[in-house]
Amino acid sequence: MKHLAALNKYFWKYRNRFFIGIFFVITSNYFAVLAPEVTGFIVGKVQQHLPGAKPVAHPKQYDAFLTVFINWVNSLTFAQIVTVCSITILILALIRGILMFFMRQTIIVMSRYIEFDQKNEVYQHYQKLDASFFKTHNTGDLMNRITEDVSRVRMYTGPAIMYLVNLVALIIFCLVNMLRTDKQLTLLVLAPLPLLALTIYIANTIINRKSEKVQALLSDLTTNAQESYSGIRVIKSFVQEKAMLGFFSKNSEDYRKNAVGLAKVEAVYFPSMTLMIGLSTLLTVFIGGKMAIADPSKISVIVEFVIYINMLTFPVSAIGWTASMIQRAAASQKRLNEFLQIEPGIQDAPHAVDAPVKGDIVFDKVSFTYDNTGIKALKDFSLTIKEGQRILIMGRTGSGKSTLAQLLLRFYDVDNGNISIGGRNVEAYTLQSLRTQVSYVPQDVFLFSDSVSNNIRFGLNEHADMPRVQQAAANASVDKEIQGLQNGYDTILGERGVTLSGGQKQRVSIARALIKDPQIMVFDDCLSAVDAKTENEIVGNLYRVLQNKTAIIITHRIFTGFKFDNIIILEEGKILEQGTHEQLLLLDGYYAELYRIQTSTGQSAA
């Protein structure tokens, strides 16, 4: 339950709505319990009007408000009393309805505001968390917490609180009135209600457990179906349709069994609840009936009590429901707190500054190990890249090339050594200035379900006009292909739009980096999906665009047509060879071997 304390800041933020809402809940219940009293009063009047009726031994006491009303009504004729009381009951119902409307307008609307704020809070926090957090938590879990868990918490901030205050207020008002009317009858007829509340609580817990299981199975089923659709080409090419169908049918069967089990419990639960509630009414009529036989003036009491019992039915049955709603919200808030309390490992250092990120890049004895796998990706790595140099980084897969780029952008922080740009440690720049001024084209391309032009503009804070977007696309050699699409630059990409080829996606992603026009650019194996001719064209363009800029190009292919200031060959996190193309050929090592293979097979990019 302590987990829910995290929500207090929201209650405080919306305190006006909250307290006004509670005021509406209480007043609506006050007016609700006036109706049975007026009904009891009028039935009493009718009974007294019958021939041979004995006068009431102990006239009933009313609260101050009702006493004024009854004193006034008593001054009217019998026919007028009946009419006025009937209209009063109608007016009371109307007042209650209006107050309930305002109660929902305040409390439920407040819960929607809190839900909105909480979703934003979680989303903003996700944005702050670093790369290693996302590597160790799966997307489904992140999605579930921001949607399902936040919704469950809303059930607490809205309906649960509203019903809780409502039931407490109604039970108190009813009890006060019932005890004032007849203490003994009150205790007798209310005896089954605690039992009812307990039974409902237990049954609700069982239902919740079962429905959570059903929910989890449904989520498995959806994931299963989603994977089948997105991996349909792999399934078909490996002729695994039958196996996948079998897997899906098994999941589906598990889901069916559990859903039917839940339906059975619910089928027993609701009628038994009605039966138990009926018991209280039966007791009222039975015990009250006996009392009325002994003293006919008690008829009004029985009528009043039957109405009270019916009024109490819903709140009492809602006790279990509300309790389980609060339990579920507490469990969900616990899950949300787990993430909200994680401090991002990569943050702005206290002394970090917003400054132009340019100058020589120096890796000084850098070592880095991935925490989750213990893999030592860089070992005592030192390299100086002069401002304006274009360098190529090559090496076997897993040799640490991408790690270098990610350390430069502070997706991770080094374990030992340091990385500086323009004489200032990368940690001394704010993340904002570092990442806006160093353009990075990652290995795995990601395009948003948006227009091509907006995908290219993505990293800009200002709006770029079309000529600028087109220029960036032309430099990435993708302009002509975009123009060839049906809606050109307005073509929507992604699941509901056009699917670009792997090479086209890579080039849109390069255009996105080029449009930022930064001083430092890092291309991480981002041309792997394009053919040699296109690659040649892009590198040619890049060579021109990257004049006077520092460029780090990570690749597996050799570009012979262009002169790189330095070529680095990495091996197991260390420099194996470095120098210009000619120097490396003379060295006759890994690079020369790769060059021979590529030229003999015609793979060389230029």
Ligand X SMILES: Nc1ncnc2c1ncn2[C@@H]1O[C@H](COP(=O)(O)OP(=O)(O)OP(=O)(O)O)[C@@H](O)[C@H]1O
Contacts to ligand X by CB under 6 A: 135, 370, 372-373, 375, 377, 395, 397-403, 443, 525
3-class secondary structure, 368:
strand
CA distance 158 to 141: 25
Nearer to ligand X, 258 or 399 (CB): 399
Nearer to ligand X, 213 or 376 (CB): 376
Nearer to ligand X, 517 or 572 (CB): 572
Virtual torsion, Cα 104, 8, 139, 206, nearest 10 deg: -70
Residue 312 Cβ vs ligand X, minimum distance, rounded to whole Å: 59
Q: Which helix (H) or strand (E) holds 377?
A: strand 376-385
314 Cβ neighbours under 8 A, 6+ residues apart? none
Residue 525 Cβ vs ligand X, minimum distance, rounded to whole Å: 6
Check: CB of residue 597 under 8 Å from CB of residue 394: no
Residue type, 329: A
For residue 170, which of 372, 318, 312 has the smallest C-alpha distance?
312
Question: Tokens representing 377?
Answer: 């990706």
Nearer to ligand X, 334 or 574 (CB): 574
Residue 575 Cβ vs ligand X, minimum distance, rounded to whole Å: 13
Nearer to ligand X, 142 or 340 (CB): 142
Residue 8 Cβ vs ligand X, minimum distance, rounded to whole Å: 37
Nearer to ligand X, 132 or 425 (CB): 132
Which DSSP letter does residue 148 get? I
Nearer to ligand X, 110 or 605 (CB): 605
Residue 98 Cβ vs ligand X, minimum distance, rounded to whole Å: 59
Which DSSP letter does residue 396 get? S
Residue 380 Cβ vs ligand X, minimum distance, rounded to whole Å: 15
Residue 403 Cβ vs ligand X, minimum distance, rounded to whole Å: 3
Question: Tokens representing 142?
Answer: 């992140």
Residue 598 Cβ vs ligand X, minimum distance, rounded to whole Å: 16
Other C-beta atoms closer than 10 Å to the C-beta of 175 total 15
CA distance 375 to 373: 5
Question: At residue 121, what are phi and psi to the nearest 5 degrees?
Answer: -60, -45
Nearer to ligand X, 214 or 522 (CB): 522
For residue 503, which of 480, 475, 478, 485 has the smallest C-alpha distance?
478
Among the residues of 458-498, which ranges form H helices?
Answer: 466-475, 479-483
